[in-house]
Structures are given as C-alpha cells and as structure tokens.
C-alpha cells in the first residue's frame, strides 16, 4: 500500500529532491503519519538517503513520524500565546483529555502537541485541531471544544 502511494505521489510531484516535502505531506494526508516503511520508500523513489528523509520529516512539526490520534491538537507555544494564557489553556486540555502535552489518549482519539507559531498572534492563544483553527482560546473554551469533539465519536 505504501509503495503504491509513493508511486502515485512521485507521478504527481516528480522524483527530484524538491518533491520531498510535497510527497511527505501526501503520505501524512493519507496515512496520518510517516512510518519507517514510508520514509524508506520515499528515499528509494527519490534516490536520496533515508537519513535525509528522516531528517526532513523530524525537523517539521507537522510531519509526524509517530502514530497520532484521530484528532491532533497543536497548541501554539510562542511567547505571545504564553502572555495571553496558554499555560492555563494547556492545563484545561490536559485535564479534559487525561493526558499530558506530547501524549495520545489511550483510545487513540486525541494527541496533544506543542507547535511553533500558527500565525494567529493577534488572536492568541491559538490552537489547531487537525485543520481547524481555534483562536482566543480560554480554559473554558478549550474544554467546550474537546467536549464537542468527544460527541462526534
């Protein structure tokens, strides 16, 4: 399955070094993370080292190299969000989910991760759940957001 996906992505983006990130993003879109097998296939397809693929994948916070939950919650960790109450928001998220930052719930539904700037400093603190942006997050708002996701299950 991974081999076929990498073949599809190289047909779309090519096999030059510049195709690496779009291919990795394509795998994330389909598989939700980059497995060792996927990174090895990409290295073969682009004729680059596995270390280069892993180095690129591990550098970017949105290119997960570990299996994550169905809902990936990324909390902005900039100083602006810190100044606007991010610490309290994280504590509310950890309490609502029963996990700490960097962990995934035992049911595999949620992962809570720090991330660099989301680009919403004017409306901080900000967080992202998969592709959905939440701004001006308060502890109460964070708990309500988590509650709404739990109801979707």
Q: Where are the domains of the chain?
A: 2-59, 71-152
pLDDT at residue 45, as a whole number: 96
pLDDT at residue 46, as a whole number: 96
CB count within 10 Å of CB 78 equals 19
pLDDT along the chain (153 residues), means of 10: 95 95 94 93 96 92 88 94 94 97 94 92 94 96 95 78
Q: Which fold has domain 71-152?
A: Glutaredoxin (3.40.30)
CB 100, CB 94: distance < 8 Å: yes
In angstroms, the Cα distances linking 114 to 64, 96, 117, 136 are 12, 16, 10, 17
Q: What is the DSSP string of 37-101?
A: HHHHHHHHHHT--HHHHHHHHHHSTTS-SS---SEEEEEE-SHHHHHTTHHHHHHHHHHHHT--T
pLDDT at residue 136, as a whole number: 96
pLDDT at residue 49, as a whole number: 94
The whole-angstrom separation of Cα 79 and Cα 13 is 37
pLDDT at residue 64, as a whole number: 86
CB burial string 17-50: b at 16+ within 10 A, e below: eebbeebbebbbeebbbbeeebbbbbbebbebee
pLDDT at residue 60, as a whole number: 86
pTM exceeds 0.85 for this model: no
The whole-angstrom separation of Cα 93 and Cα 36 is 30
């Amino acid at each position: 399955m991974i081999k076929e996906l990498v073949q599809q992505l190289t047909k779309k983006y090519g096999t030059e070094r510049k195709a690496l990130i779009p291919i990795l993003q394509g795998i994330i879109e389909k598989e939700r993370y980059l497995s060792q097998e996927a990174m090895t296939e990409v290295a073969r397809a682009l004729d680059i080292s596995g270390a280069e693929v892993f180095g690129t994948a591990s550098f970017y916070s949105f290119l997960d190299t570990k299996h994550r939950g169905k809902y990936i919650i990324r909390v902005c960790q900039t100083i602006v969000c810190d100044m606007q109450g991010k610490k309290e928001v994280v504590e509310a998220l950890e309490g609502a989910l029963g996990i700490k930052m960097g962990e995934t719930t035992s049911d595999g539904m949620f992962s809570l991760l720090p991330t660099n700037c989301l680009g919403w400093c004017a409306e901080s603190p900000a967080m992202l759940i998969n592709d959905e942006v939440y701004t001006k997050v308060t502890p109460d708002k964070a708990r309500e957001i988590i509650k709404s996701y739990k109801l979707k299950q």
